Amino acid sequence: MSRTILHVDLDAFFCSVEELLNPELKGQAFVVGGRAESRGVVSSASYAARKFGVRSAMPTARALRLCSGLLVLPPQHHVYMEHSSKVMEFIRTSAPLVEQLSIDEAFLDISDDQRPGTRVAASLQAEIDQRFGLPTSWGVASNKLVAKIATEVGKPHGLISVPPDGEAVFLAPLPVGMLWGVGPKTKSRLAERGVRTIGDLALMPASRLIQLFGAHGLDLATRARGEDKRPVVEEREPRSMSAELTFERDLSDHDLLCRTLLQLSERVGRRLRKSMVAGRTVRIKLRWPDFTTLTRQTRLVQPTDQDGEIYRAALGLFNRVWREGRMVRLLGVGVSDLSPPARQLTLFDHTWEKDGRLLKAIDDIRTRYGSDAVRRAGNLKLKRLTDRGVEDDSSS
């Protein structure tokens, strides 16, 4: 039985919300993002700004060079979350199975609906526009992969429907970079062999792709044919929690870098405890001044939500890759493999119990009086740096 999967994306969501709040912004070139002087990046760009080549994740300073007169608005995440919650709640009441991917994106499985998928998507698109004043783009297909690509093709405010058994024909002329799993390096290697469209990729023998990319090559061959059996999952628990900081100025001071790691570890630990989960894998993220980014991770003996354990693991990873005097642009700490907090008790070591009670008391104080109510003395100098940097917390 063929499935009917819808994919919805709220177009330029942050900017669309800002236009709701201030209609004078409509048609203007503007972005939501961090300040250029704080080395911020673009979170969302209006379509007028995109005409100048401005894109999400681009440094704000570069965006300003591309588009003179570009207006930069600071993010209002709590406002965006409020609008997202209203739209997603409406979507959940309109389809039997909904998988929210992010603040502005979701899959809907309407396979049991007797109406054509295009009609359902068009109705929801018009209703969201009328109720919430927010533009959306929709993709309709027999699976998640093709539905999401259809949405991308139709942006902005589009609706693209791909008929069953027409997936490969639809994908064939599209750039190979639109296919999930084809990043810059894979795209470059494929281009060297004359593969520029998804159709070109689909014509490559699976054996050749496996030879080039290993098991990933087999996945690419399957996706190039438009095949995807992944189900729409109703809800998903966060798979990881992380925090990162982009410094206002590149930093090479070892002590300050270590204090940053500690502060980030504390933020992640606090969020883990608030969500009542613990994680077994600790990872760090480093970005050098030339924007080269690397990640390293390690697996713990047992899950943790303790700041100190996260920090010690992160510090060990950091010391393996950082060399004295090397400048750092961004530093991040994350914890994954989340599960309910549980400890394998040892006979003599109960220090974690004391740490847990102390952290709970600190969490309670911070909840009541603010995150800066309790701060390590060593972090006071760091506080001045982070006040001017660009911070980001995320769950994925």
Distance of CA 231 to the CA centre of its chain: 20
Distance CA 56, CA 43 (A): 5
- Helix (H/G/I), strand (E/B), else coil: 303: strand
DSSP symbols for 111-152:
TT-SS-HHHHHHHHHHHHHHHH---EEEEEESSHHHHHHHHH
Which residues touch 161 (CB under 8 Å, ≥6 apart)?
117, 118, 121, 139, 140, 141, 150
Q: 160 and 140 in contact (C-beta within 8 Å)?
A: yes
- Choosing from 99, 105, 266, 309, the catalytic residue is 105
Here the tokens at position 105 are: 């994106």
User: Locate tokens 């919805």: which residue?
Assistant: 8
Q: 179 and 155 in contact (C-beta within 8 Å)?
A: no
Q: Among candidates 97, 117, 120, which has minimal Cα distance to 107?
A: 97
Which residues touch 346 (CB under 8 Å, ≥6 apart)?
none
Give me the sign of the Cα torsion angle 361, 367, 369, 370.
positive
Q: 3 and 109 in contact (C-beta within 8 Å)?
A: yes
Distance CA 46, CA 55 (A): 9
Distance CA 278, CA 269 (A): 8
Q: Is 105 a catalytic residue?
A: yes
Residues across the chain: 396
Q: 106 and 100 in contact (C-beta within 8 Å)?
A: yes
Distance CA 154, CA 395 (A): 28
How many other CB atoms are found less than 10 A from the CB of residue 321? 12
Which residues touch 68 (CB under 8 Å, ≥6 apart)?
none
Terminal-residue alpha carbon distance, the chain: 32
The catalytic residue positions are 105
